[in-house]
Amino acid sequence: MRKIFTLLLILAATFVYSQEFIKLNQVLSTADGNINIYVHYVNKEYQISDSFYASFETDINNDKLVYLENGIIYNKNGIELLNLSKRNPPFYGYKLSLSYPKNRKFSPGLNLDPYFGSKDSVGDTQSIDWDSTNKTFKKRVSLVP
């Protein structure tokens, strides 16, 4: 009986916590190496993801350099970069695109188009950049006042 209970518990945990992450075909090229982006689509047709993470292409452990969890984006140190978890209408997901700014003051990164409530409500694009000095991601600070 105990073995059956343990097996059921493992199966339930696997079902609840498993998410299918898909590796994007494009990699983010930085001076420190290529970074793979993995997404979990909440709406595959519109490529809107409710969670994602990034890791170096050469990292066999898949350590997360940045990740989205419950509407909050964290860098590898657990520092909150963007928080859309308490918005109304509620956070739905992001549409991601790679960012290679022409202005050399910015590093490569990700553009994030947030969706709220459903796929029909879009917010302002947010960006996070690769920080070569600290080997992590940071929120892009606009130069426009």
Q: Could you list the pLDDT tens digit for every one of the 145 residues in the chain?
A: 555 544 444 444 444 445 699 999 999 999 999 999 999 999 999 999 999 999 999 888 889 999 999 999 999 999 999 999 988 888 999 999 999 988 777 789 999 999 998 777 888 899 999 999 999 999 987 655 5
- Residue 15 domain-assigned? no
Domain range for 33 = 20-139
- Residue 4 domain-assigned? no
How many domains does the structure of the chain reveal?
A: 1
Vertex 130: Cα angle to 112 and 98 (nearest 5): 40
- Residue 3 domain-assigned? no
Residue 14 confidence (pLDDT): 42
- Residue 12 domain-assigned? no
Give the E-state strand segments of the chain in sequence order. 22-23, 28-30, 33-43, 48-56, 66-69, 72-75, 80-83, 91-99, 109-116, 121-122, 126-131, 136-139
* pTM for the model: 0.80
Residue 23 confidence (pLDDT): 94
Residue 118 confidence (pLDDT): 77
The residue whose two tokens read 């997360």 is 64
Residue 64 confidence (pLDDT): 94
